[in-house]
Amino acid sequence: MNDKVQTLDYGFETSVAQRNQVLRNTYWLLALSLLPTVLGAWLGVATGITKALSGGVGLVVFLGGAFGFMYAIEKTKNSAAGVPILLGFTFFMGLMLSRMIAMVLGFKNGSDLIMTAFGGTAGVFFLMASLSTVIKRDLSGMGKWLTVGAVVLMVGAVINVFVASSTGMIVISMLAIGIFSAFILYDLKRIVDGGETNYISATLGLYLSLFNVFQSLLALLGIFGGERD
C-alpha cells in the first residue's frame, strides 16, 4: 500500500515538474521573441519598407505571412527548427507593426504613447499570469467561445480596413483587449493544468495575444491621446 502511495506521489511530482518546465521554457522563449519583434519594428520604421502596405495589399501580405508562419511553426514545433521559425515569425510581426508605430511616432508624444502601451500590455500579462496560478476552476470551456470571438473580431477588422471607420477601430480595439487578455489567462491556465505540453505552441499563443493587446492599446492611445505639433 505504501509503495502504491509513493508511486502515485512520484508520478504527481513528475507531472508538476513537467508543467513547471513547460511554463519556464515558455516564459524564456516569449521574452526572447520580443527581441526580433523590436528589431523588425525598428527596421520597418527606419527604412519605411511597410509604407506601401496599406489597404488590401497590406492585408494580403499580413494574413498570408502570418498564417504561413503559424502553419510552419505548428509543423515544426517538435523539432529543432521550431524555435528559429517562431523567432522569424515574431520578426515579421514586428515589421508589420512598424507602420502603426511610425504613425504614432508622428505625434509629439508618440514615444510616451508607445511606452504606455508597452507598460499596459505588461500589466495585463502579469495580472493574467497571477490569476492563472490562483484560479482553481477549469477554464477549458472558454476556448471555443474565445475562438469564436477572435474570428468575429478578425472579420470586423478586415471589413474596417476598407471602411476605415474611427468608431469601428475604437470598438474593435476595445473588444480585442478584452478577448486577448482572456486568451492569455486561458493559455497560461492550460499550461498550469497540464493541458499544453509544448512550449513552442504555448509561446505562439501567448505572443499572438500580447501582440494584439499591445496593438489595440496603441491604437486607442493614438486616437485619444495623440498630440500633434
Q: Which domain holds residue 159?
A: 2-225
Contact in structure between 33 and 87 (CB atoms under 8 Å): yes
Cα distance between residue 108 and residue 105, in whole Å: 7
Instruction: Return the pLDDT at 116.
Output: 96
DSSP conformation letters of 18-37:
HHHHHHHHHHHHHHHHHHHH
pLDDT in tens, 152-199: 998 998 888 788 788 889 999 999 999 999 999 999 999 988 888 899
Query: Shortest CA distance to 150 belongs to which of 124, 179, 172, 126?
Result: 179
Mean pLDDT of each 10-residue bin along the chain, 229 residues long: 45 68 94 96 90 74 90 93 96 94 92 95 95 87 90 89 85 95 94 89 96 95 83
Instruction: Return the pLDDT at 90.
Output: 97
- 50-55: long-range contacts (C-beta < 8 A, 24 or more apart)? 50/95, 50/96, 50/98, 50/99, 50/102, 51/99, 51/102, 53/96, 53/99, 54/99, 55/161, 55/162
DSSP annotation of 79? S
Instruction: Return the pLDDT at 120.
Output: 96
Residues 6+ apart with CB under 8 A from 57: none
Q: Residue 87 is placed in which grid cell? A: 523567432
Contact in structure between 22 and 191 (CB atoms under 8 Å): yes
Other C-beta atoms lying within 10 Å of the C-beta of residue 218: 24
pLDDT in tens, 81-98: 999 999 999 999 999 999
Q: How many domains does the chain have?
A: 1
Longest CA–CA separation in the chain, Å: 77
